Amino acid sequence: MITSRTAVVALSVASVSAMFLAGCSSDSGSGGGSGKIAFIQGVSGDEFYISMQCGIEAAAKDAGVTVDTQGPVKFDPTLQKPIVDSVVASRPSAILIAPTDVAAMQAPLEAASRAGIKVVLVDTTLEDPSIAVSSISSDNKGGGAEAFSAIERLSPAGGKVLVISTDPGVSTADARVEGFEEAVGANSAFDYLGVQYSHNDPAEAARLVSAALAKDPDIVGIFAANTFAAEGTATGVRQAGKQDQVKIVGFDAGPAQVKQLREGTVQALIAQQPGTIGTDGVEQAMAAIDDKPVTAEISTGFHVITADNIDGEGAQYVYKSSC
């Protein structure tokens, strides 16, 4: 009777292998020509990446290719790597990706590049971006400096300022913090309390801000370096009841932040142009596929949205939560 464990193991391994061997063919070296491109977000459910997706889908439609969007549930390279591997196996002509870690995603994207797939880095970058045909991101350092200018305008007298960022090692957030720190260093009226990391979790950001306000009750300004950090910072300030004293400048303009802007808890938002990053990305990808010249680095701009211009010219820069 074949109920012994060895027999079960042998039979099952045989049946599964037979299935794979039946479909097995040699590793093909070419990338595609398949008329489809893939977009791998940094994290799914983030309005910044959803706006980028909208831009990419619109541009792809014009170029006549289909787009498949995938993203990890957390901004985490251990979650993004299997997705990259699976996307590479589906052999799109190009991958537009926001790498979640400059080091961890280097090897999987090199493998994609070797397989003939054109890689375009959008938003974040890698340690060695030469494997990609193009890197497109906002001028994050300038954005950080602009955020400090906004705080300067809101609190001309000076005082203590704090930065809430997401995770160290995220190239875009680090650049924003760097820009802010340089600007703060140049202005002696302001006292820089340092940067704290909220790990892309609004609840964590709220806790950090509450604790910081308990330690330094006279903080005049907080710069929140991304969407989730801004959400949590505003919550933390409200919980402490210090909306009038603390001026918050947030990076990224998702619907929740715009709501906070209208309510007055947040005073200014530095909006990137994710849609433009997306369309530029598709443009560069299509140029690479057609063997036309590409631009290795593109820097997109940002806009400052305040309560004054939110209903006017600022409205067009708000991020979308669906296409």
Binding residues vs another protein (CB under 8 A): 1-3, 5, 8-9, 11-12, 15-16, 19-20, 22-27, 44, 68, 70-79, 81-83, 85-91, 101-104, 106-107, 115, 127, 167-169, 197, 199
Cβ–Cβ < 8 Å for 136, 204? no
Q: According to DSSP H, which parts of the chain are helical?
A: 5-23, 47-63, 77-89, 106-114, 140-154, 171-185, 202-215, 227-240, 255-263, 274-289
Residue written as tokens 């305008």?
153
Q: How far is the CB of 238 from another protein (least distance, A)?
A: 25
Q: Which residues pair with 188 in a beta bridge?
A: none
Non-local CB neighbours of 13 within 8 Å, separated by 6+ positions? none
Shortest spacing between CB 278 and another protein, in angstroms = 18
Minimum Å distance from CB 14 to another protein?
Answer: 10
**Closer by beta carbon to another protein, 81 or else 141:** 81
What's the rounded Cα separation, in Å, for the pair 282 and 40? 13
Smallest gap from residue 71 Cβ to another protein (A): 7
Instruction: Give the span between the Cα atoms of 137 and 258, in whole angstroms.
Output: 22
User: Smallest distance, Å, CB 16 to another protein?
Assistant: 6
Instruction: Kindly provide the b/e burial profile for residues 118-151, where b requires at least 16 CB atoms within 10 angstroms of the residue's own CB.
Output: bbbbbbbbbeebebbbbbbbbbbbbbbbbbbebb
Distance, CA of 207 to CA of 66 (rounded, Å): 42
Closer residue to another protein, CB minimum distance, 199 or 207:
199
Instruction: CB nearer to another protein: give 44 or 243.
Output: 44
Shortest gap between Cβ of 298 and another protein (angstroms)?
A: 26
185 in Cβ contact with 147 (< 8 Å): no
- Residue whose C-alpha is closest to residue 32's, from 71, 66, 83: 66
In the complex, the smallest distance separating the C-beta of residue 158 from another protein, rounded to whole angstroms, is 28
Residues 238 and 256 sit within 8 Å (Cβ to Cβ): no
Query: CA–CA distance from 237 to each of 59, 114, 210, 293 (Å)?
Result: 40, 49, 7, 49
Q: Which is nearer to another protein, 57 or 101 (CB)?
A: 101
47: three-class secondary structure by DSSP: helix
User: Is the CB of 67 or the CB of 145 nearer to another protein?
Assistant: 67
Q: How far is the CB of 82 from another protein (least distance, A)?
A: 5
Which of 10/315 has CB closer to another protein? 10
- Residue 127 or 263: which CB sits closer to another protein? 127
Complex with another protein: residue 167 or 178, whichever CB lies closer: 167
d(CA 208, CA 102): 26
